[in-house]
Structure 1
Amino acid sequence: MFAGDDRTLLDSVRAGSAEAFGELYARHRTAAHAMAKQVVGSPADVEDLVAEAFAKILDVLRRGGGPRSAFRAYLLTTVRNLAMALNNRGRRVQLAAELDGFFGPENHVQFVDPAVLELERELVGKAFARLPHRWRRVLWCMEVERLTTADVSRKLGISRNSAAALAYRARKGLREAYSQVCVGEPTRRRLAAPGVLLAEVA
């Protein structure tokens, strides 16, 4: 057995240790399977999803990216995101929400991991920080302060249509920035507009 905490194992994987990654797999595969069962419908899909998640993370780690700590949270988020991506591409992936129609609440136990919730907050925060100031401001007004489009237009001194368009671009930019953060793109980059990345000035 490979000794050390997850942080040490992750450093060893980046240095080329297959044994260290095998230990990470042994430690966290049960949690990955539990998450996969919540987002796909068949045992075969569960196995495929878990295998793909570990393979994707191994590739990211070998390239020097990925998590420095909190491996389990990163893994579970990867499992969930892969399931969503597969579903969006039209593959037969049955999400947990669809299973609610077949199994009543008394038979369905939602898998909620505090580590995942903590990682989600961290990833959203990093994605939010990549956005231009104007996008961050409109998102804060609408999502945190719960202001209406009319309120935002008055606060920013723009028309309602401009406020609505700005909010749309900001939300789209946040989704794109979140996706980039999840796959471990460099943190010292700022999203200027959807699909456009500019190096952040130090």
Structure 2
Amino acid sequence: MLSGSDADDRSDYVRRVRNGDDDAFAALYRTVAPRARRTAYRIVQNADIAADLAQEAFCIALEALRTGRGPDGSFTGYVLAITKRLAYRYCALARRTVPLDEAEWEQRPSDTPLPDPAAGAAAALATLPPRWRDVLWLIEVDRYSPAELAAPMQMSPNAVSSLASRARRALRLAYAAAG
């Protein structure tokens, strides 16, 4: 079993995971997962959601290690950083969700059509230039990173990130204007 404070052991385990050793990742998981769950819980204040976020952080870390990315040093710090990012993103999305009171929903006339958010999003997306649509699709749907898209797009990773940011902003504005 991997000790909680032995960073050298963790680096050895990280090297083993990169070489395909699933047992090494299981040892890392057993050691770091409780701390990741506690970290997420401090942010989201829900044990089930915290467990889900910690699990997702480990999935991201495993994928990174298997593809030759990820940490060389502090595996714990790496997983905790991912966990925090996921937890803060979850909280930000939860704040944007407006719960509709059940009584208010029942008072809504049944013949009033519900808005179709997908149609609005599709219409807003259609207003964007093709290059912006492409970069949004590749980054948001296909989950490519700007670094992975840089060479095929003949741009630097920072330029791809900036292009995606401008495209997201334009999509938000187009969606708001249509709605």
Aligned partner of 1:55 among 31, 35, 59: 59
Measure how far apart 1:30 and its partner are: 2.2
**Which 5+ residue runs of structure 1 have no aligned equivalent?**
94-182, 197-202
Structure 1 pair 91–8 and aligned structure 2 pair: CA distance change class (3 A): farther
Aligned positions of 1:121-200 closer than 5 A: 191-192=158-159, 194-195=162-163
**Residue 71 (str. 1) matches residue 104 (str. 2):** no
Identity %: 30
**Which runs of structure 1 show a deviation greater than 6 angstroms over 4 or more consecutive aligned residues?**
none
Q: Deviations over 1:21-68 (max 9, x none)?
A: 011111112221221111112111111111111111111111111111
Structure 1 pair 92–55 and aligned structure 2 pair: CA distance change class (3 A): farther
In structure 1, the residue matched to 2:50 is 46
Equivalent residues of 2:2, 2:31 under 8 A apart: no
> What amino acid is the match of 1:61?
L
Equivalent residues of 1:2, 1:19 under 8 A apart: no
Instruction: State how far apart, in whole Å, the 1-side matches of 2:96 and 2:157 are.
Output: 35
> What amino acid is the match of 1:7?
S
Structure 1 pair 69–89 and aligned structure 2 pair: CA distance change class (3 A): same
Measure how far apart 1:92 and its partner are: 8.7
Equivalent residues of 1:54, 1:75 under 8 A apart: yes
Instruction: State how far apart, in whole Å, the 1-side matches of 2:157 and 2:52 are.
Output: 34
In structure 1, the residue matched to 2:18 is 14
> What amino acid is the match of 2:158?
L
Instruction: State how far apart, in whole Å, the 1-side matches of 2:157 and 2:40 are.
Output: 32
Instruction: State how far apart, in whole Å, the 2-side matches of 1:31 and 1:92 are.
Output: 28
Calculate the aligned-residue CA RMSD, in Å.
Answer: 3.0
SS at match of 2:158: strand
Answer 1 or 2: which has greater helix percent.
Answer: 2
TM-score by length of 1: 0.45
Instruction: State how far apart, in whole Å, the 2-side matches of 1:194 and 1:63 are.
Output: 25
**Which 5+ residue runs of structure 2 have no aligned equivalent?**
98-144, 149-155, 165-179
SS at match of 1:191: helix
> What amino acid is the match of 2:163?
G
Q: Deviations over 1:56-100 (max 9, x none)?
A: 11111111111111111111110010112223334799xxxxxxx
Instruction: State how far apart, in whole Å, the 2-side matches of 1:6 and 1:195 are.
Output: 38
In structure 2, the residue matched to 1:26 is 30
In structure 2, the residue matched to 1:80 is 84
Q: Deviations over 1:108-127 (max 9, x none)?
A: xxxxxxxxxxxxxxxxxxxx
> What amino acid is the match of 2:39?
M
Instruction: State how far apart, in whole Å, the 1-side matches of 2:79 and 2:163 are.
Output: 26
Instruction: State how far apart, in whole Å, the 2-side matches of 1:70 and 1:38 are.
Output: 21
